[in-house]
Amino acid sequence: MRFTNNALGLIILSLVIFHLCKVKGWSRVELFKNVISTVDPDIAPFESDTTSTPLTITLNLMGISKVDEKQHTVSGTYWMMMGWGDPRLSWDPNMYGNITSVQVKAEKIWYPTSVCIINEIGNNKCIDAKDKQLTVYNYGFVGYLTNVESVSQCKIDVTKYPFDTQVCGLAFENVNFGTEFLKFNEDYSNFLLQYLQPSSLTTAGSRSQSVLSSEIGKELCGTWVGCSLQTGILSPDGISPSPAMLVTDAKTEVFDGPHACAGIARGCRDKYP
């Protein structure tokens, strides 16, 4: 009798799970039918510069392969998340099985095509999500995660030699600002060091940039995301650089190890640090 009850319970549980999966699968079909598929990928969510699409850039530095002080360049590998708003792609999760995000092929929806890295050595590198997967969130936000390898220009400060400081990062610009109306959002952009392993010669310190700004039609045409790289003489332990004074825009701080970097500046071509 106990065996029969257990078997019956397992059958009922299996039916419930099957029903829930079927309902959620049907909800996903309905979501794509009623929301995702209704958006024309050739039509942007903006009408003019007064209804610009907000765009954010978040970089997560994975590694630094080379810092060239003579050429004022840094070679780095990043995870980059570019996100933008599209209110047409919003829905109530309660109506679609509590689904809050879905993966969508980029060709199915509109995505920015004019965001380029303008301080890339050699040539400008534009961010292209073609043939990639995008994540669409129920509150009308789209995210594109990709890997970026870049050799970018830096601004070097040798006034405190041998504790040189190079302000490095990637400068992004909307190269078609006259037709593709994007508004770079500084507040929600960021620079992270979550995956960076401490180097024996270089540490990263926080630096806030706020003086470089430019407006075109009252909208930002670009954003700079990066941090300062401090090099110096090894401390007696042979591992970390000796503490050095690093002057930021707001205050003077002492750095003796890796720190999270949240340096954001805004600017247009030839205006980055």
Write out pLDDT tens, residues 163-217: 666 677 788 888 888 889 998 887 778 877 777 665 433 444 433 232 222 222 2
The pLDDT assigned to 206 comes to 36
Instruction: Look at 90 and 159; give whichever has higher pLDDT.
Output: 90
Q: Are strands 244-247 and 252-255 parallel, antiparallel or unpaired?
A: antiparallel
* Rounded distance between C-alpha atoms, residue 127 and residue 148, angstroms: 9
Structure tokens at 225: 């995301």
**Residue range 255-263: average pLDDT?**
27
Question: Which own/partner pairs from 62-69 qualify as long-range (CB within 8 Å, at least 24 positions apart)?
Answer: 62/195, 62/196, 63/195, 63/196, 63/197, 64/196, 64/199, 64/202, 64/229, 67/166, 67/202, 67/229, 67/231, 69/156, 69/164, 69/166, 69/231
* Rounded distance between C-alpha atoms, residue 201 and residue 123, angstroms: 29
Query: pLDDT tens digits for 47-95?
Result: 988 889 999 988 888 888 887 777 878 888 889 999 999 999 999 999 9
Beta strands in 99-138 (DSSP E): 101-105, 115-117, 125-126, 133-137
Give yes or no for a cis peptide into 162 (omega within 30° of 0): yes
The pLDDT assigned to 230 comes to 56
| The model's pTM | 0.69
CA nearest neighbour of 205 among 187, 181, 231: 231
Instruction: Look at 11 and 210; give whichever has higher pLDDT.
Output: 11
- What per-residue string of b and e applies to 149-187 under the rule 16 or more CB within 10 Å gives b? ebbbbbebbeeeeebbbbbbbbbbbbbebeebbbbbbbe
Given a contact cutoff of 8 angstroms between Cβ atoms, the answer to whether 269 and 229 are in contact is no
CA nearest neighbour of 88 among 131, 50, 129, 44: 44
Q: What is the CA radius of gyration of the chain?
A: 24
Given a contact cutoff of 8 angstroms between Cβ atoms, the answer to whether 208 and 249 are in contact is yes
Lowest mean pLDDT among 104-108, 140-144, 184-188, 267-271: 267-271
Rounded to 5°, the CA angle 150-153-159 comes to: 135
Given a contact cutoff of 8 angstroms between Cβ atoms, the answer to whether 221 and 177 are in contact is yes
Sign of CA dihedral 147, 150, 153, 159: positive
**Residue range 112-139: average pLDDT?**
88
* Rounded distance between C-alpha atoms, residue 165 and residue 155, angstroms: 8
What is the chain's mean pLDDT, rounded?
A: 69
Q: Which domains does the chain have, with CATH numbers?
A: 35-265 (2.70.170.10)
Chain mean position to CA 190:
7
